């Protein structure tokens, strides 16, 4: 074994030496002298840019240069008090695991400790006095708020007010400040899907981040009962962008970034912003009065599906009035259950969300025109809204029920003079329409040009069914104290 190693060593040594000499000679002879090489092409590539696009090349940089200074970083700190014992076993009554437990006079009382939890978001400067517009979820409940400007100056701030129903909040810098850059508030009502937009904020703590995209859609809302009318955009919005600016191609603030749709926790091309028209209205109320006062009509509303529209003979979309509360503005205006609201003061109301947002902007005591469709005819009512308070609950009706095989459900009269559903047969029209056992039938509409007829007995119900001319009917039901409408298409 030793001879083999020596043999290999003697044969490989000359080869290694020759390689080193060859490499050294090659490097010395072939290395170019300094500044003898030209890197890159002599001329830039020739790109035929149209005159219209030439000015567009730097527009995003120009917009960012103006907007970035108006967007701030917000750090909100929540301070809690926790109590800590020196012996964790003593907390559970176990005493010390080894040796004798301390005597009562030796046991220490729990010590109060301060626990601080911080979160980061964004905000937009809207006043030279130091007022900043942001999201409610960024600052609500915070014990301390710090504002960091684009030029790295930091200031303490206080909460002026917040509104959780719209996710809008206003904070103000508490120290005297000068030369604050202020955002220009644009007109979000003029936005169209496809318009260029830019999002500016501090995602993941990365300050002054700019992303661009377009308006993907308008009037978006979730399934919650908040006041929502979101601008949807594909401009990248991530955690930390909340409260930041969404601006148009002119650098005008048209939205406050508020939330994203994501399955991964990051950007997936769907972000939402509160239109500045809504945010500004709430902001001014919070600053001037410290509270948000919304209009109130006193109705419960529902969406209209295609089947319901056909049953009511509607050719344009509107919002169905489920219930008109007693002694409320809608009742005083002559509004009735079953009316379909298509506009308020000329503003269209195709969906419940549109109606809810429009009513919220109405001023209590002012007069507004409400256009409704009732029994196939348009009517114009005048309503004077009040201030929104807590929603009134509709009292539930006692259940007691008879029978109707045409729709696939068994009915019974009740002691209070109404009809309730005792049983729904599987696979029938009633089941497909969502009717359940225990539902109370309050009224029926058998033709688009006929009014709703109140049902007080199964005899009333059968009488109306015999007068049916079309293929659809609409029932007004009550379930668990809530009243709503259901359309049924009869099998022929």
Going from N- to C-terminal start, the domains of the chain cover 188-288, 295-387, 409-489
Report the distance separating Cα 475 and Cα 311, nearest Å.
10
User: What are the CA-CA distances from residue 380 to residues 274, 300, 302, 336, 368 (Å)?
Assistant: 31, 19, 20, 13, 10
Instruction: Write the class of the CATH domain 188-288.
Output: mainly beta
Report the distance separating Cα 245 and Cα 252, nearest Å.
9
Q: What homologous superfamily is domain 295-387 in, according to CATH?
A: PDZ domain (2.30.42.10)
Residue 163's DSSP bridge partners are 168
Q: Give residue 87's pLDDT.
A: 54
Q: What homologous superfamily is domain 409-489 in, according to CATH?
A: PDZ domain (2.30.42.10)
Helix, strand or coil, per DSSP, at residue 408:
coil
Closest residue by Cα to residue 200 from 209, 190, 189, 191: 209
Contacts 24+ apart (CB under 8 A), 403-406: 403/458, 404/458, 404/461, 404/462, 404/465, 406/465, 406/490
Helix, strand or coil, per DSSP, at residue 39:
coil
Q: Give residue 395's pLDDT.
A: 31
Per-residue pLDDT of the chain (492 residues; tens, 9 = 90+): 444 444 444 454 555 544 544 455 445 568 888 888 989 998 989 888 787 777 778 899 999 999 999 999 999 987 665 555 555 544 444 455 555 555 555 555 666 666 677 788 999 999 999 999 999 999 987 889 999 999 999 999 999 998 888 899 999 999 988 889 999 999 999 999 999 999 999 998 898 999 999 999 998 887 655 678 899 999 999 989 999 999 999 999 999 999 888 777 777 889 999 999 999 999 999 999 888 888 889 888 888 888 888 888 888 899 999 889 888 899 999 999 899 999 999 999 988 888 988 998 888 888 999 999 998 889 999 999 988 753 333 333 333 445 566 788 888 776 566 787 877 777 778 877 888 877 888 888 888 778 888 888 888 888 888 777 777 888 888 876 678 888 887 765
Q: Which residues contact 354 (CB under 8 A, 6 or more apart)?
A: 219, 229, 319, 348
Place of tokens 């012996």: 87
**Domain pair 295-387 / 409-489, same fold:** yes
Of the residues 242, 300, 343, 487, only one is catalytic, namely 242
Q: Give residue 392's pLDDT.
A: 38
Q: Give residue 243's pLDDT.
A: 95
Cβ atoms of residues 256 and 122 within 8 Å: no
Report the distance separating Cα 234 and Cα 211, nearest Å.
9
Q: What is the CA radius of gyration of the chain?
A: 35
Q: Give the HSE-up count for residue 215: Cα atoms under 13 Å, Cβ half-sphere.
A: 24
Compute how many other C-beta atoms are within 10 angstroms of the C-beta atom of residue 332: 16
Strands 419-424 and 440-445: antiparallel
Judge whether 242 counts as a catalytic residue: yes
DSSP state of 376: T
Q: pTM for the full model?
A: 0.65
DSSP 310-364: HHHT-SS--EEEEEE-TTSHHHHTT--TT-EEEEETTEE--SHHHHHHHHHHPPT
Helix, strand or coil, per DSSP, at residue 122:
strand
Judge whether 339 counts as a catalytic residue: no
Of the residues 73, 76, 136, 137, only one is catalytic, namely 137
Cβ atoms of residues 183 and 243 within 8 Å: no
């Amino acid at each position: 074994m030793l001879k083999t190693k020596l043999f290999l060593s003697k044969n490989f040594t000359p080869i290694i030496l020759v390689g080193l000499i060859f490499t050294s000679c090659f490097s010395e002879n072939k290395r170019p002298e300094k500044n003898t090489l030209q890197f890159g092409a002599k001329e830039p590539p020739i790109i035929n840019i149209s005159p219209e696009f030439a000015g567009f090349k730097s527009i995003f940089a120009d917009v960012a240069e103006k907007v970035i200074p108006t967007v701030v970083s917000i750090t909100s700190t929540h301070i809690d008090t926790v109590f800590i014992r020196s012996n964790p076993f003593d907390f559970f009554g176990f005493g010390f695991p080894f040796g004798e437990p301390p005597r009562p006079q030796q046991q220490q009382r729990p010590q109060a400790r301060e626990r601080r939890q911080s979160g980061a978001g964004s905000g937009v400067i809207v006043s030279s006095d130091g007022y900043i517009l942001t999201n409610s979820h960024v600052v609500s409940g915070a014990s301390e708020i710090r504002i960091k400007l684009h030029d790295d100056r930091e200031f303490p701030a206080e909460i002026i007010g917040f509104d959780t129903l719209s996710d809008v909040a206003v904070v103000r810098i508490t120290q005297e400040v000068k030369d604050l850059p202020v955002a220009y508030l644009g007109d979000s009502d003029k936005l169209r899907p496809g318009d260029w937009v830019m999002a500016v904020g501090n995602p993941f703590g990365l300050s002054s981040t700019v992303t661009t995209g377009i308006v993907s859609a308008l009037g978006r809302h979730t399934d919650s009962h908040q006041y929502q009318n979101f601008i949807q955009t594909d401009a990248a919005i991530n955690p930390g962008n909340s409260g930041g600016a969404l601006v148009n191609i002119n650098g005008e603030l048209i939205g406050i970034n508020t939330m994203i749709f994501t399955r991964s926790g990051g950007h997936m091309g769907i972000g939402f912003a509160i239109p500045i028209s809504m945010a500004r209205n709430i902001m001014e109320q919070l600053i001037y009065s410290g509270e948000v006062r919304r209009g109130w009509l006193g109705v419960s509303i529902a969406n209209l599906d295609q089947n319901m529209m056909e049953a009511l003979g509607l050719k344009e979309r509107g919002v169905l009035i489920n219930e008109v509360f007693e002694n409320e503005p809608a009742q005083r205006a002559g509004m009735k259950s079953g009316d379909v609201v298509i506009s308020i003061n000329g503003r269209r109301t195709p969906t419940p969300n549109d109606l809810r947002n429009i009513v919220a902007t109405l001023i209590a005591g002012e007069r507004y025109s409400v256009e409704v469709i009732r029994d196939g005819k348009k009517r114009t009512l005048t309503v004077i809204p009040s201030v929104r308070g807590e929603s009134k609950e509709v009292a539930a009706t006692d259940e007691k029920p008879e029978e109707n095989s045409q729709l696939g459900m068994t009915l019974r009269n009740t002691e209070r003079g109404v009809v309730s559903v005792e049983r729904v047969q599987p696979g029938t029209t009633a089941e497909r329409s969502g009717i359940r056992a225990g539902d109370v039938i309050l009224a029926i509409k058998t033709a688009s040009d006929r009014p709703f007829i109140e049902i007080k007995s199964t005899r009333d119900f059968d009488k109306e069914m015999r007068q049916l001319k079309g293929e659809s009917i609409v029932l007004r039901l009550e379930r668990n104290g809530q009243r709503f409408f259901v359309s049924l298409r009869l099998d022929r």
